[in-house]
Amino acid sequence: MSELVSANPCPGLFYETPAQDGILMRIRVPGGILTVAQASAIAEITDRWKTSTIQVTNRANLQFRAVSSAPEIFEILKNIGLAAKNAQVDHLRNVMASPTAGIDPSELIDTRSLVQDIDTYIQSTPELAGLPPKFSIGIDGGGQVSIGTRSEQAWQHRYNEIQLSAISSNQLQLAFAADKQLYETGVVIDATECVSAIATLAKVYLSYVQQSQRPKKPRMRDMLKDWGVQGILDRAGFATFSTAISLKSEIASLIGVHAQKQAGLFYIGIALPLGQLSIAQFQHLIELAKTYGSGEIRLTPWQSIILPNIADPSTVLQELSGFSIDPIQSSIVACAGKPGCASAETHTQADAHALTQSLKHPINVHITGCPKGCAQPSPADITLLGTRMEQSEAYYLFAGEELLTEQPVSDLSTIAQLINARYD
């Protein structure tokens, strides 16, 4: 395929991102919500690509490996709302929200319409193409399932450069994020003014990018370093009205059956080993969503899937016999590793699958083939960092930031024993 826009390091749709084992393509799904019509179109397209598996990413997007594309596929995706009409801004449609928006019993604001409005703004503003590829927006509705840093479990945190979090039924507070940290601003924004506030911040961000002398497009962390939080707010004309309000979440696992705020309805969280599922499995979920749900499938930023609006969860669970609702399956995260990534020292995917079989507790394990840690943007309970040990693949084992040991990959059973013993 000839690229329609200039490539960047983040996989996208209108350009090819090469990997050791082919190319990567990523479909942005603002808010993570797919209709069965959209999901069915994706299943048909992947069949044409001869792709056997798809992956839910840690931003609730869909990623395909070792595929090629064609212009007619872009038109199909545009027509069903899964690709921007303007290819230059498609990769910026990185709008994250809670996957339980509109069904969460504790939410303060149903963020679904806000996500749609923000996506419309991005698609209709071509000058945003000047922003860096990792530009991101997050909208948290204040419910039990949250993005941002409200969860008591740090590994569940998800960061967005512009983060808006509900503090009441019609107000959200603004924060910026960089380097796995949220910077509170004390700015409170009415829900009706979210899009205009984001547009103002985007203009400030663009002006910073345009005057930067850096060889690469600067990111939020650079703007925070150079201008500081107050400098950004001053340029945006935002007044600080309050100190940050902290709303903690009583977060249960997304996996399994959970009651919705709608009486008599439930959502079912399905664990996906390393965020992956086969096309046949994806098609089966589409049929379940049509038959037992409301015709909707939701992707989560923790690489799992939700079937919402289920009236008869026991029957659906029987239909999900080929899937897992074991939290252990969803708490292990791994990057592409070898052979897909040239930076990786280890075959992280295979090692993660093997390790999953030996773990007894649903604790977060982040397996990364190199120090970049691409697979998980937040701190992990346990980290395995790929390295070389006497010319063989090995891992450094960390608990938090504490280095515990170094073990060869051939001794994964010892690594599993050490992890289990720590949490027994």
DSSP for 279-348 reads: HHHHHHHHHHHHHHSSSEEEE-TTS-EEEEEES-HHHHHHHTTTSB--HHHHHEEE---TTT-TT-SS-H
In 3-state terms the chain splits into helix, strand, coil percentages (rounded to 5) of: 35, 25, 40
Q: Give the integer Cα–Cα distance in Å for 87 and 246.
A: 38
Residue 6 has pLDDT above 70, yes or no: no
Give the three-class secondary structure for 72: helix
DSSP 147: S
Per-residue confidence band for 391, with pLDDT thresholds at 50, 70 and 90: confident
Phi, psi of 268 (to 5 degrees): -120, 120
What mean pLDDT is predicted for residues 35-51? Answer: 89
What mean pLDDT is predicted for residues 199-227? Answer: 95
Q: How many CB atoms lie within 10 A of CB 410?
A: 11
Phi, psi of 34 (to 5 degrees): -115, 135
User: Cis ω on the peptide bond leading into residue 339 (within 30° of 0)?
Assistant: yes
8 Å CB contact between 201 and 137: no
Per-residue confidence band for 2, with pLDDT thresholds at 50, 70 and 90: very low
User: Quick one: angle between helices 220-236 and 194-211, nearest 10?
Assistant: 120
Q: Are strands 53-56 and 305-310 parallel, antiparallel or unpaired?
A: unpaired
The confidence score (pLDDT) of residue 340 equals 83
Per-residue confidence band for 69, with pLDDT thresholds at 50, 70 and 90: low
8 Å CB contact between 235 and 204: yes
Radius of gyration of the chain (CA): 21
> Which structure tokens are listed for 199?
């547009």
Residue with tokens 């990997």: 19
Q: Give the integer Cα–Cα distance in Å for 264 and 281.
A: 27
What amino acid is encoded at 198 in this protein?
Answer: I
Q: What is the pLDDT of residues 326-367, one digit of tens each?
A: 888 888 999 999 988 889 999 999 999 999 999 999 899 999
Q: Give the integer Cα–Cα distance in Å for 304 and 89.
A: 26
The confidence score (pLDDT) of residue 21 equals 64
Q: Give the integer Cα–Cα distance in Å for 260 and 267.
A: 7
Q: What is the pLDDT of residues 273-295, one digit of tens each?
A: 999 999 999 999 999 999 999 99
Strands of the 162-166 sheet, one edge to the other? 95-97, 137-140, 162-166, 171-177, 182-190
Per the prediction, the chain carries an average pLDDT of: 91
Quick one: CA torsion of 217, 11, 400, 225, rounded to 10 degrees? 10
Residue 66 has pLDDT above 60, yes or no: no
Q: Give the integer Cα–Cα distance in Å for 418 and 31.
A: 38
Burial-class residue 2 by CB neighbours within 10 Å (0-12, 13-18, 19+): exposed
What mean pLDDT is predicted for residues 36-58? Answer: 90
8 Å CB contact between 56 and 299: yes
8 Å CB contact between 174 and 163: yes
What mean pLDDT is predicted for residues 243-268? Answer: 81
Residue 152 has pLDDT above 90, yes or no: no
Tell me the C-alpha to C-alpha distance, in Å, between residue 173 and each of 139, 188, 220: 10, 4, 18
With vertex at residue 339, the alpha carbon angle to CA 74 and CA 369, rounded to the nearest 5 degrees, is 105
User: H-type helices in 186-267, by residue range?
Assistant: 194-211, 220-236
- 25 Cα distance to chain centroid: 15
> Which structure tokens are listed for 422?
């720590």
* Domains of the chain in sequence order: 94-252 (3.30.413.10), 330-423 (3.30.413.10)
